[in-house]
Structure 1
Amino acid sequence: MPAIPACPVTLTAAERHRLKKSAYGHKTPHQARIRAQIVLFAARPLPNARIAERTGVHVDTVRTWRGRFAELGLPGLADRKRPGRPASFTALQAAQVKALACQLPAETGAPLSRWTCPELAREVVARGIVGAISASTVRRWLARDALKPWQHRSWIFITDPDFRTKAERVLDLYARTWQGRTLDAGEYVISADEKTSIQARCHPTLAPGQTRAMRVNHTYGRGGALAYLAAYDVHHAKVFGSCEPRTGIDPFMALVAQVMSQEPYASAKRVFWIVDNGSSHRGKKAADRLAAAFPNAVLVHTPVHASWLNQVEIFFSVVQRKVVSPNDFTDLAQVGDRLRAFEARYNATAQPFQWKFTTSDLDDLLARLDRHTADHPEESSVALAA
């Protein structure tokens, strides 16, 4: 049989430049490098057998890529599109599954609190949207749009009509401003609240060892509970704490007296006390009570359901992580001793919290909530009714 003549290859200067970059580039994929080398050798011209020997591939491979370049040029060196397996589901079916995932199960008649991928797969089959589908396919579809209907987080709508005014006062104090005027050096901001029901759960805890985590016993005996009251100097990162059997007006006023009876607060021009709307310090009566006992003290309330604006809550979260959990106290005396010891340890090295939420952020938050309630007026009416 006569030999099959090799396809002639002629390169332009631009094609030669691009092929050389592909043939000798350090980041070029191996297949693209071999194809570029085949075309460069073919342009010399070299026979297919010699090119196969130099590139280490079969002569049929050389013939294939030489022919494709001769016919299509540089685009011919790319892989052709493969048909693959035909799609099992249509785009409409995928959209219907996503739409179902964005509905509450109760609204669709399903006796579930939230969707999971297996439940969604069963539901779409029961509705006749698809004949059969796996939970992994549903999960893959939802992942494309970052949908996770099995997750949830708590949320509460703003019900305080004076939310912005109250929140702005607190945020201004954090920025050392009150009623448009910068605070003097002799004015202080205290954030105070109570951490209730710290229990003494009497059970042993085993120390960690090599390749073994600390072990906390599942069973325990109850040893009672106490409340931890704390006042946090926002700009000086100093904590004043008190352990009490229960919360109430008297324990809170005792905490105030503990702080206000010592310097620099006793002789300060003003000391602002930021508190939430708990029963121990709620409303105008609490403000009058505080002013009567300490004329230089000013009570400032956060909005209703906005304890997250109270910086002492950050300190309480530190206490929860570093002191209370895991709860292995033998009795309430040990609870109090550890809280007081941690308080001294914290004050020795503490720095003020880097509070970044400003009045501008507050305006952005309220604007987003206004847009949301405008789109969902029924949620707004439910919140107001609550």
Structure 2
Amino acid sequence: MLAMRSKIVLACADGMDNIEIAAALRIHRDTVSKWRTRFVKLRLDGRMDEQRPGRPPSITLDQVEQVVVATLENTPKGATHWSRASMAERSGLSRSTIGRIWRDFGLRPHQAGTFKLSTDPLFVEKVVDVVGLYCNPPERAVVLCVDEKSQIQALDRSQPVLPMMPGMPERRTHDYVRNGITSLFAAFNVADGTVIGELHRQHRAAEFKKFLITIDKTVPAELDIHLICDNYGTHKTPAVKAWLSRHPRFHMHFTPTGSSWINQVERWFGFLTDQLIRRGVHKSVRALEKDIRDWIDQWNANPRPFVWKKTAEEILESLARYCRRISGAGH
């Protein structure tokens, strides 16, 4: 708007009349007349908007600050967190006003997240190793993120599920019948997103060794295999170590303790859970296993690799900043 007003003033200085200026700038001639008159009277200050009358704000900045500080630094008596009602009672403001202040400052007292910092003494080395495989994978090799989703339950509802209808979501009984469990061993290829999957009724080192054999048969013989695993005991038994020693193209890389977020197969497990397992209804383990195999086949028909964006240095610096933030949490 200020640029348009300046153009009007400059056109007036060139000797153009209001009709000519309005036509050239494609605006109404009353607009030209208004800002010509304002400039003649106030010179350059005339280009600025006048102060407009209005109702003064109903709350002061001090009141807003008090609500924000109290939300961040205090808790109400007899409760673990503030509600709009309790903060309104404390501050003397309305509930809707408290809600607006919280929205403006991104405060959500009713929500709480979780976190866990790894205590692995080799945390830095393992992060650098794993992220290095993501960002700079070795040549003539495949990088696989491996883990087990254990004890997947075949659940059947006690009564038939009522399908979704217009204006009404799908409904199911809160209780269910357990029909057995299975475990999925999966290897996620970080390069192309394909998955090698295998189901077993038990979750032991013997089953993990069988899965390693499956991987060995599936991956072309001319490629090295780099496996990213967690520190679960079945991955490090003498039998597994002996098998690996006889297959030198396998290279094991372990994630830091308590850091499953760095293993990409965990994200893939999340897709499987959301799209199949959480709301699935299965009358037998065999039916559950069939659905899992079908879902994996559909995924592999259109695989989607994940894009890893953060370097190891960025991850470590982010964690360092977080540690500095919480280091004084108890004071």
TM exceeding 0.5: yes
CA distance in 1, matches of 2:104, 2:192: 47
1:13 correspondence with 2:12: yes
Structure 1's 78 and 36: CA in aligned 2 closer, same or farther, altered over 3 A?
farther
CA distance in 2, matches of 1:268, 1:134: 70
CA distance in 2, matches of 1:355, 1:77: 49
1:138 correspondence with 2:138: no
Higher normalized contact order (CA 8 Å, seq sep 6+, divided by chain length): 2
Identify the residue that residue 207 of structure 2 maps to in structure 1. 251
Structure 1's 36 and 200: CA in aligned 2 closer, same or farther, altered over 3 A?
same
Q: CA deviation at 1:278?
A: 2.3
- Once the two structures are superposed, residues 133-171 of structure 1 have per-residue CA deviations (whole angstroms, 9 ceiling, x without a partner) of 102112222333333333332222242232221011112
Q: CA deviation at 1:79?
A: 4.9
Give the alignment of 1:227-266 within 5 angstroms.
Answer: 227-264=183-220
**1:287/1:298 contact within 8 Å kept:** no
Identify the residue that residue 315 of structure 2 maps to in structure 1. 365
**2:229/2:253 contact within 8 Å kept:** yes
Identify the residue that residue 144 of structure 2 maps to in structure 1. 190
1:175 correspondence with 2:125: no
Q: CA deviation at 1:192?
A: 0.8
The one of 143, 150, 155 aligned to 1:201? 155
CA distance in 2, matches of 1:139, 1:340: 47
Q: TM-score, normalised by structure 2?
A: 0.79
Identify the residue that residue 306 of structure 1 maps to in structure 2. 259
Give the alignment of 1:126-165 within 5 angstroms.
Answer: 132-165=92-125
Higher alpha-carbon Rg: 1
**1:199/1:225 contact within 8 Å kept:** yes
Stretches of structure 1 that go unaligned for 5 or more consecutive residues are 1-10, 41-65, 125-131, 178-182
* Matched position secondary structure for 1:215: coil
Q: CA deviation at 1:101?
A: 1.3
**1:272/1:299 contact within 8 Å kept:** yes
- Once the two structures are superposed, residues 181-213 of structure 1 have per-residue CA deviations (whole angstroms, 9 ceiling, x without a partner) of xx332x32221111123222213345556x467
Structure 1's 273 and 39: CA in aligned 2 closer, same or farther, altered over 3 A?
closer
**1:275/1:300 contact within 8 Å kept:** yes
Q: For residue 319 of structure 2, what is the amino acid of its counterpart?
A: L
Identify the residue that residue 218 of structure 1 maps to in structure 2. 173
Q: CA deviation at 1:18?
A: 10
Q: CA deviation at 1:19?
A: 6.3
1:334 correspondence with 2:305: no
* Matched position secondary structure for 2:195: strand
CA distance in 1, matches of 2:294, 2:307: 24
Structure 1's 71 and 270: CA in aligned 2 closer, same or farther, altered over 3 A?
closer
Over the matched positions of the two proteins, sequence identity in percent amounts to 24
* Matched position secondary structure for 1:191: strand
Corresponding pairs, count: 318
Identify the residue that residue 75 of structure 1 maps to in structure 2. 46
- Once the two structures are superposed, residues 28-82 of structure 1 have per-residue CA deviations (whole angstroms, 9 ceiling, x without a partner) of 6x9xx74655788xxxxxxxxxxxxxxxxxxxxxxxxx8x888657839955431
